[in-house]
Amino acid sequence: MNLREAAALTGAEILTCDDALDLEITQVGAADLLSDVLALVQDEGVLLVTGSTTPQVLRVAEVLGLGGLLFVRGKRPTEAMCDYARQASLPLMVTQLSMFDTCGVLYSKGMRGLKRLRFPSGHGPEKPQDL
């Protein structure tokens, strides 16, 4: 699935970099805590579904090479954040859907979540699982 398809499925408004929406996304992650994003993203081309509209989310996305950000619940980044995203070639989108519904729509169309490679202290399943 590419970013354009993800936007269409979730009814998202494209805020930046509409020329980069043909990028294939390999996984979707959903988080508001940036520490979770930093701990879980292993590959580039990930779409992050988030309700966090802080400038730090853009910097984390840029450092990790995320494919794009999809803000939920109609939350909108500031114009300064959109300007930064344009300079960083980072697609930003906004959907009115909740995080739960957004993830459900994408999952139902074949997207899978990030994999946690191992659990701390040996707790949890032995094999990677979807998050």
Query: CA 95, CA 93: separation in Å to the nearest integer?
Result: 7
Q: Which residues contact 122 (CB under 8 A, 6 or more apart)?
A: none
Domain with 20, as residue range(s), is 3-112
In a domain, 27, yes or no: yes
Q: Identify whether the C-beta of residue 122 lies closer than 8 Å to the C-beta of residue 26.
A: no
In a domain, 124, yes or no: no
User: What does pTM read for this prediction?
Assistant: 0.85
Query: CA 58, CA 63: separation in Å to the nearest integer?
Result: 9
With a cut of 60, say whether residue 120 has pLDDT above it. no
pLDDT digits (tens, 9 = 90+) for 57-102: 999 999 888 999 999 999 999 999 999 999 999 999 999 999 999 9
In a domain, 55, yes or no: yes
